[in-house]
Amino acid sequence: MDGPQHILSVTKLRTNTDMAAFGQFMYFAFGSNLLRQRLKLQNPSAMFCSTARLKDYKLSFGLWNEHVDNKWHGGVATIEFCPGADVWGVIWSMSDENLRSLDNQEGVSKGMYSPLNVSVETDKGPMLCRTYQMNNFHACPPSPQYKQVVCLGAEQNGLPEQYRKSLEWIQTNNYSGPSVLDEIRTAAEEPF
């Protein structure tokens, strides 16, 4: 994962953020974790901090390694280096106690995603955040339910209208069975 200069080594996250002294880390979400109710299912400490833009990356959907299916029944979000492109997302302030659950959700121990530190732009200036990038990615359209979660999260957090419209245009695989979205709706303490 040699990459652009704004990706920093994961080991620098703790020492490079003011939040580390308070037992917190900043997480940049761009996929299903845009939706507060989804993220808080396993990471209750998550608190909205800001919307943000990751420059020189594009949002893509796919599956890991040789997998042909997953619990979302389609591709899931990742980021790919793409000069001139932007990915909008949300910065969540999270307790260090939720770092392991977030890594587990992202399949880090299985090698599905790798954590990265990225510098994202906010209206208050750049911020260093943890995010995740899929390893051995191959393109696959998302299920309508996964796309809906991403779009709901983008709307819920006020991402730019143009970006939200681009999310609405994403083609899906037309899966129509049960999905993780049903679990989120059942477990959510607040409607969305």
- Helix-strand-coil percent breakdown of the chain, rounded to 5? 30, 35, 30
Whether 189 is catalytic is no
Q: What are phi and psi of 153, to 5 degrees?
A: -65, -40
Those residues whose C-beta lies under 8 Å from the C-beta of residue 191, and which sit 6 or more positions away, are none
Q: Which residues are annotated as a binding site for substrate?
A: 27-32, 146
Instruction: Give the active site residue among 106, 121, 183, 190.
Output: 106
Phi-psi bin for 107: left (phi > 0), alpha (psi -120 to 50), beta?
left
> And the tokens for 68?
């042909």
Catalytic residues: 106
